[in-house]
Amino acid sequence: MSHSQNLPKQNLEDLLEKYRGFVEQELFPIDLKVVQGPFRKHLPTLQGLRIKAKELGLFGPHLSKESGGLGLSLEDFAKVSEILGQSPIGHYVFNCQAPDIGNMELLELFGSEWQKEKFLKPLQEGKIRSCFAMTEPDNAGSNPVILSTTAKLEGDEYVINGHKWFTTAADGATFTIVMAVTNPEAESPYKRASMILVPLDNPGFSLIRNIPIMGEEGEDYLSHAEVRFTNCRVPRDHLIGEEGQGFALAQERLGPGRIHHCMRWIGICERVFQLMCKRAISRELYPGKPLAEKQSVQNWIAESRAEINASRLMVLDVASRMQIHGSKAVKEEISTIKFFVADVLMKVIDRAIQVHGALGVTDDTLLSFWYRHERGARIYDGPDEVHKASLAKSILKNFSRS
């Protein structure tokens, strides 16, 4: 992720208008068809849009200029991310979708020169995709220091054994970054795991299945896989950073990642809000009496507008401070926006479905897709309850019992 200074206000506004125009003109007309699948059927169209984004100088907004991107600051990219989030394919078309964006940031900061050349560069160019394997079915995902997957050093190779799931976008990916225990005897549980890069053509890797999410299995970029590592051997130089740094690297990855997620959620909220308002105006209970005249609907619209605006201001404030002071300085604020914006997201989608009535639960709009796929927002990257408990404990440290 670039650490550049914010663009001058007018330059940024002009840039945002270009992204807004592209998303509304190129993506809105096709995104519902794309998510209805099969996804791979639409890959030629999406690749064509990626080429067009490159030609317009809009591809890879998060990347440094040296890496072929725009060199945007975290705060400026956050504003772009909101616009891209208004379409389920927005981040993909501009090559800044999760988990690739997190892996790019990780390799850029901690990857070796050969890792950058072989894996990071083609990832930045959009020639390959990647995935991130940390969550395990037998262990609580909210506690990343408890892992069963091991990577034992035998000679000059790591031998990895373990079972992972919710390895997003493993279907069709070229490599994964796996969290595995390399130092089981380390005194601190935070220094037992490491991150290791594994090419997925490795015979020790197997993709068991794409996990159905509320009935939808998904494929390619829009999938969450269950995978297994069985005596999976990779050379020692596939280690990212140092042994025992896995947890620390994960935190470096997750800080900006939560900014990205929150701004994408706000983008979804904006698109959903527009759908809700249009439906309220156009749907009549009887001639001349649209839903918009009902006080309950008016309350939902007013509350949604306030909550979306509040979310945006909160996230941009955290992005600005993280940009200056780093992730550790805004730990409390990261927890705050994570659970607050995830909750707003689900409220806005639910209200929009209610306004749409029976239409809202069909696949004739994007509402049902987002309801299925974004319900996990309150779970992944730390469940809301964990973030709330962590925030409260941190706050209460400043008070003493009298």
Instruction: List, as one string, the DSSP characters of 351-369.
Output: HHHHHHGGGGGSTTSSHHH
What is the CATH code for 248-396?
1.20.140.10
The CATH number, out of the four listed (2.60.40.10, 3.40.50.300, 3.30.360.10, 2.40.110.10), of the domain defined by the range 130-244: 2.40.110.10
Q: Give me the numbers of helices (H) and strands (E) for the chain, helices first please.
A: 13, 11
For helices 331-356 and 295-325, give the axis angle rounded to 10 degrees: 160
What pLDDT score was predicted for residue 255?
74
What pLDDT score was predicted for residue 250?
87
Q: Which residue has the tokens 């020639």?
A: 127
For helices 74-84 and 295-325, give the axis angle rounded to 10 degrees: 150
CATH topology of domain 9-96: Butyryl-Coa Dehydrogenase, subunit A; domain 1 (1.10.540)
pLDDT, tens digit, for every residue of 274-309?
999 999 999 998 999 999 999 999 999 999 999 999
Question: What is the torsion angle, in degrees rounded to the nearest 10, for the CA atoms of residue 357, residue 362, residue 367 and residue 370?
Answer: 140
pTM of the predicted protein model? 0.94
What pLDDT score was predicted for residue 1?
46
**Lookup: tokens for 358:** 């029976």
* Domain segments of the chain as ranges: 9-96, 130-244, 248-396
Residue 16 three-state SS: helix
What pLDDT score was predicted for residue 133?
97
The answer to whether 334 and 321 have CB atoms below 8 angstroms apart is: no
The answer to whether 324 and 336 have CB atoms below 8 angstroms apart is: no
Taking the C-alpha atoms of residue 266 and residue 83, their distance in angstroms, rounded to an integer, is: 9
What pLDDT score was predicted for residue 2?
45
Taking the C-alpha atoms of residue 27 and residue 88, their distance in angstroms, rounded to an integer, is: 9
**What residue ranges of the chain have pLDDT lower than 50?**
1-2
The answer to whether 19 and 84 have CB atoms below 8 angstroms apart is: yes
Q: Is the dihedral of CA 102, 104, 110, 115 positive or negative?
A: positive
What pLDDT score was predicted for residue 102?
93
pLDDT, tens digit, for every residue of 215-244?
999 999 999 999 999 999 999 999 999 999
